[in-house]
């Protein structure tokens, strides 16, 4: 009897079906991953809710899941040598599947690969061998997949933080070059904002200031527990004035905007950052335009504004090191997990459509339990 895999497939906006497919034959340069868990982020909710309709990210049917943790189930000889893995190794798999030949790949930024291939976000379920997303029992490992071996003693929930943590490494540290003794303001206490607190703390930032709304009260408390030196509730006090007060008028070296949808934090960032400072924009605004933005302030104050998308190989490796040393502390962010048969519930809890226990921060799907 042919062994089969199962997958939660987004067949239309806001609707999952559960499908079975035969496990593929694996060639010498390919592999097969037995999934352990798929972490969720805002992209998963935006896919579910149709925000990407009409784009390459909105391809349907689609098996979501781009935060991939699992075990090497089968691997060809060539792939094993290339990836440095063997059957039974625990690995995390990067989202992008680069061609290795286009200009972005040659420039070392495979996330911008001209082929636009990526697990859980660009490759539809109908493309053989169908196992292109983490909401499944197995994942097909393309010859150009990129992966990292990870410790086996870190629990599933903590290890599934690797993707948001690697983004935090890039957004809070690598791109703005945050240094020991500097001040960073983090706008938005979602999982990536909170993990950016940890990254800034590990670097030795002197002041770590996190802004959020009244609805974020629990997350702001978590930020303080993880090392934020101050938090600001934006409905209760002017965040710009408060940052000026907290820094003695010096302002911030770096402002990282990880807020979703709202554009006001970008305008506030321009007023919070010091002359010669850096603003990093990571939060997607879902096509909301930035109005009344005067670029002269960037020019006269020599402010750098960077857009960031995702992490690279080095950022992911650093994230694994942070998890290796801090996973017990970071488990506090792991608030929910669901079996794959409850994918819709998981995504709706993530989107705050429904309540299920504590305030959600990090959610993962347990992909080892069949629907």
Among 356, 371, 361, 367, smallest CA distance to 71 is for 367
Last residue of a domain, one of 291, 307, 323: 307
Could you tell me if 242 and 359 lie in one domain? no
pLDDT band per the 50, 70, 90 thresholds, residue 286? confident
**CATH classification at residue 347:** 3.90.180.10
Could you tell me if 136 and 185 lie in one domain? no
pLDDT of 278 > 90? The answer is yes
Task: Classify residue 167: in a domain, yes or no.
Answer: no
Phi first, then psi, for residue 327 (nearest 5°) are -60, -35
Could you tell me if 270 and 327 lie in one domain? no
Task: Classify residue 111: in a domain, yes or no.
Answer: yes
Could you tell me if 352 and 273 lie in one domain? no
Could you tell me if 104 and 24 lie in one domain? yes
Q: pLDDT tens for residues 13-57?
A: 999 999 999 999 999 999 999 999 999 999 999 999 998 888 877
Task: Classify residue 332: in a domain, yes or no.
Answer: yes
Tell me what pLDDT residue 284 has: 81
What tokens appear for 317 in the block?
Answer: 């490796």
Could you tell me if 347 and 200 lie in one domain? no
pLDDT of 95 > 50? The answer is yes
pLDDT band per the 50, 70, 90 thresholds, residue 362? very high
Query: How does the average pLDDT of the chain come out, rounded?
Result: 95
Tell me what pLDDT residue 1 has: 46
Task: Determine the average pLDDT of the residues in 239-259.
Answer: 98
Could you tell me if 78 and 127 lie in one domain? yes
Give me the percent of the chain exceeding a pLDDT of 70: 99
Model pTM score:
0.96
Up-side HSE of residue 336: CA atoms within 13 Å toward CB?
Answer: 26
Could you tell me if 135 and 213 lie in one domain? no
Could you tell me if 253 and 317 lie in one domain? no
CB 255 within 8 A of CB 279: yes
**CATH classification at residue 229:** 3.40.50.720
Pairing of strands 334-339, 362-366: parallel
Last residue of a domain, one of 282, 307, 332: 307
Task: Classify residue 171: in a domain, yes or no.
Answer: no
Please report, for residues 234, 275, 331, the alpha-carbon distance to residue 69 in angstroms, rounded to integers and kept in the order given.
36, 42, 16
Task: Classify residue 221: in a domain, yes or no.
Answer: yes
Could you tell me if 291 and 154 lie in one domain? no
Peptide bond into 179 cis (omega under 30): no
Total domains in the fold of the chain: 2
Task: Classify residue 301: in a domain, yes or no.
Answer: yes
Domain containing residue 217? 176-307
Could you tell me if 186 and 153 lie in one domain? no
Could you tell me if 193 and 148 lie in one domain? no
Last residue of a domain, one of 307, 326, 358: 307
State the SS3 of the chain: CCCEEEEEEEEECCEEEEEEEECCCCCCCCEEEEEEEEECCHHHHHHHCCCCCCCHHHCCCECCCCEEEEEEEEECHHHHHHHCCCCCCEEEECCECCCCCCHHHHCCCHHHCCCCCECCCCCCCCCCCCCCCCCECEEEECCCCCEEECCCCCCHHHHCCHHHHHHHHHHHHHCCCCCCCCEEEEECCCHHHHHHHHHHHHHCCCEEEEEECHHHHHHHHHHHHHCCCEEEECCCCCHHHHHHHHCCCCCEEEEEECCCCCCHHHHHHHHHEEEEEEEEECCCCCCCCCCCCCCHHHHHCCCEEEECCCCCHHHHHHHHHHHHHHHHHHHHHEEEEEEHHHHHHHHHHHCCCCCCCCCCCEEEEECCCCC
């Amino acid at each position: 009897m042919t062994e089969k895999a199962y997958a939660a497939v987004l067949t239309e906006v806001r609707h999952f079906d559960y499908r079975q497919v035969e496990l593929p034959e694996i060639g010498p340069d390919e592999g097969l991953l037995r999934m352990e868990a798929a972490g969720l982020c805002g992209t998963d909710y935006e896919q579910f809710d149709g925000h990407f309709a009409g784009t390459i990210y909105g391809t349907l049917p689609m098996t979501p899941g781009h935060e991939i943790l699992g075990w090497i189930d089968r691997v060809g000889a060539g792939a094993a040598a290339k990836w440095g893995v063997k059957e039974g190794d625990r690995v995390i798999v990067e989202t992008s599947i680069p061609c290795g030949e286009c200009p972005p790949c040659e420039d070392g930024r495979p996330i911008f690969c001209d082929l636009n291939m990526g697990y859980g976000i660009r490759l539809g379920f109908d493309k053989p061998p169908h196992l292109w997303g983490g909401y499944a029992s197995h994942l097909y490992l393309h010859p150009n997949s990129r992966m990292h071996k990870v410790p086996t003693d870190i629990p599933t929930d903590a290890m599934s933080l690797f993707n948001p943590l690697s983004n935090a490494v890039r957004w809070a540290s690598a791109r703005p070059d945050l240094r020991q003794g500097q001040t960073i303001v983090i706008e938005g206490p979602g999982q990536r904002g909170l993990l950016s607190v940890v990254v800034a703390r590990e670097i030795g930032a002197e002041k770590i200031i996190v802004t959020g709304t009244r609805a974020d009260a629990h997350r702001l408390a978590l930020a303080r527990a993880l090392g934020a030196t101050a938090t600001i509730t934006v409905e209760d006090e002017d965040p710009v004035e408060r940052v000026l007060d907290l820094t003695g008028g010096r302002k911030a070296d770096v402002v990282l905007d990880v807020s979703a949808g709202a554009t006001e934090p970008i305008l506030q960032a321009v007023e919070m950052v010091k002359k010669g400072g850096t603003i990093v924009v990571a939060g997607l605004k879902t096509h909301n335009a930035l109005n009344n933005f005067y670029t002269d302030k960037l020019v006269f104050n020599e402010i750098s504004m960077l857009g960031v998308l995702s992490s690279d190989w080095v950022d992911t490796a650093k994230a694994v090191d942070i998890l290796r040393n801090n996973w017990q502390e970071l488990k506090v962010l792991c608030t929910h997990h669901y079996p794959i048969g409850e994918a819709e519930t998981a995504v709706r809890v993530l989107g705050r459509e429904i309540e299920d226990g504590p305030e959600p921060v990090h959610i993962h799907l347990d992909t080892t339990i069949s629907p």
